[in-house]
Amino acid sequence: MDAFVGRADEIRYLENVYAKRPVACAVCGRRHLGKTSILRRFCADKRHIYISGTPGLREDNLREIARALSEFHGKPISIDDVSDVFPIIKRVCAKRDVVVVIDRYSDLVENFPEFTSYLRAFMNRDLSTTRIMLVVCDTDSSIFGRFYYTLDVRVMSYRDCRGFHPDYTPEQHLLAYSVVGGTPAYQRMFTGDPETMIREKFFDHMSVFSLEVENMVNSEMALRSECVRVLSAMASGVENVRDISSRTGLSASVCMRVLEEMEHKGMVSKETSSGPSKRAVYTISSNILRFHYEVVNRFTVDMEYRSAADAFERARPEINSYLERAFKTLCMDTITLDYKYTFVGRVRRRDDSPDGMVDFVASLTEAGVNRTAIAKCRLHGEPFGKGDLEALQARSKTIAGPNKLYFMFSGCGFTDELAGLAGSDGNVRLVSLEDMYGQ
């Protein structure tokens, strides 16, 4: 497994910013997304100083900063007060091209609340007289204010995650991505057969991913117990605030606060229903959270009273159902990766529930022509046939949009008859799991 996978767009963005030096740039993104790894790769061929805050004492942070500056300068440097940091940086960098990275910024501010004012003063007064690219990195950019150049690090796409497991089959890639998503740290934990990894790292209440889910809620959410109740309700199938409130017994205002906080942290996503109600609907967007609450959490008693192996075997039907749902999400992602689009979303009924015939629709542009994609997805079961296409086309008559395309995504194949029809009709697109993964 390569030490560094993907992130070509992020590196390209930083290189473009570097060309504008002197310049300041913020890098932000939630935990475990590989922010530090991106910066390490970016700085590999450049003169740089890497400073990282630590959650310890003020003295610990001053000592770490002094160590980093001494290593760059080649001579011992001592720092008695945080106010000395930026003057020393300016002095040791002189007029040389240097990338100065300040990572884990919130730990520095926790120890030195005045650090932000020193940073701002340096950016406003001194940075322009140097050849420095200043990079400030943390989980949330709001802590250090607005930067003109900001790299918002997000989860990796399912295709980029192929690089973590070059020997996996498409089915194994799908399984790994569906349960942990595009978080590099989680992908790296899959070091063998995905089923074995899931059994060992999920189906034990003290396993690494179970503890990680617990830590995500406990460390990142202000309303912890309310968050657990909201996630449990969403895992049972409810999606709008009214129904979540009814299921949890929490007030609508509290549910709204929890959902907004989780949305900000990338745990859930919001879409406006395409149904008549136009209510906002929410889904769990973090795969590790979704798999835990939709599947693993239902077998807690089995894990604690019996064994992880027993719990995993009893959960197999639920895992297969979960993968079917996850497959539909990856099919939507395929549209966003392969086409220029303006909208991708599910079709919903009057009560906001998803349509049973059409899995999603998309507005996209192909060869300069606006088109409406109507998609059906199936991971397991019988291969798609001519009857499935005809049913999809019939249902599409009630869906507005120009120049319709019919997408059929399948992990179980297509009949020869359907393949023949698709070969003669450019408006029908058959996409296999192997096609999605470029294999």
On whether residue 332 sits in a domain, the answer given is no
> For 334-350, what is each residue's pLDDT tens digit?
999 999 999 998 887 77
> How many whole angstroms separate alpha carbon 363 and alpha carbon 344?
7
CATH number, domain with residue 367 = 3.40.1350.10
The count of structural domains within the chain is: 3
| DSSP state, residue 373 | E
On whether residue 408 sits in a domain, the answer given is yes
Q: What is the pTM of this model?
A: 0.87
pLDDT at 277: 56
On whether residue 71 sits in a domain, the answer given is yes
pLDDT at 332: 95
The residue from 259, 294, 326 where one domain ends is 326
Report which secondary-structure segment, H or E, holds 209: helix 208-220
Buried b (16+ CB within 10 A) or exposed e, 134-157: bbbbbbebebbeebebebebebbb
Instruction: Indicate the SS3 state at residue 255.
Output: helix
> How many whole angstroms separate alpha carbon 391 and alpha carbon 359?
13
Whether 388 and 355 map to the same domain: the answer is yes
On whether residue 1 sits in a domain, the answer given is no
Buried b (16+ CB within 10 A) or exposed e, 9-36: ebbebbeebbeebbbbbbbbbbebbbbe
Other Cβ atoms within 10 Å of 394 Cβ, number: 10
> How many whole angstroms separate alpha carbon 334 and alpha carbon 136?
33
- Could you tell me the two tokens for 359? 């899995």
Report, as ranges of residue numbers, the positions in the chain whose pLDDT lies below 50: 1-2
Instruction: Indicate the SS3 state at residue 317.
Output: helix
- Could you tell me the two tokens for 379? 């991971």
Q: How far is CA 173 from the centre of its chain?
A: 16
Closest CA to 119 of 29, 25, 203, 210: 25
- Could you tell me the two tokens for 115? 């650090």
pLDDT at 272: 62
pLDDT at 438: 85
Whether 281 and 357 map to the same domain: the answer is no
Other Cβ atoms within 10 Å of 42 Cβ, number: 25
Whether 283 and 143 map to the same domain: the answer is no
In the block, residue with structure tokens 């310049």 = 23
pLDDT at 144: 67
Whether 167 and 48 map to the same domain: the answer is no
In the block, residue with structure tokens 């192996």 = 309
> For 28-38, what is each residue's pLDDT tens digit?
998 889 999 99
The residue from 263, 293, 326 where one domain ends is 326
Beta bridge mates, 414: 384
Whether 144 and 201 map to the same domain: the answer is no
On whether residue 59 sits in a domain, the answer given is yes
Whether 263 and 309 map to the same domain: the answer is yes
Whether 320 and 368 map to the same domain: the answer is no
Other Cβ atoms within 10 Å of 431 Cβ, number: 18
Whether 180 and 294 map to the same domain: the answer is yes
Other Cβ atoms within 10 Å of 403 Cβ, number: 12
The residue from 277, 299, 326 where one domain ends is 326
Which domain range does residue 173 map to?
160-326
Q: Which amino acid is at 316?
A: R
pLDDT at 226: 92
Whether 316 and 352 map to the same domain: the answer is no
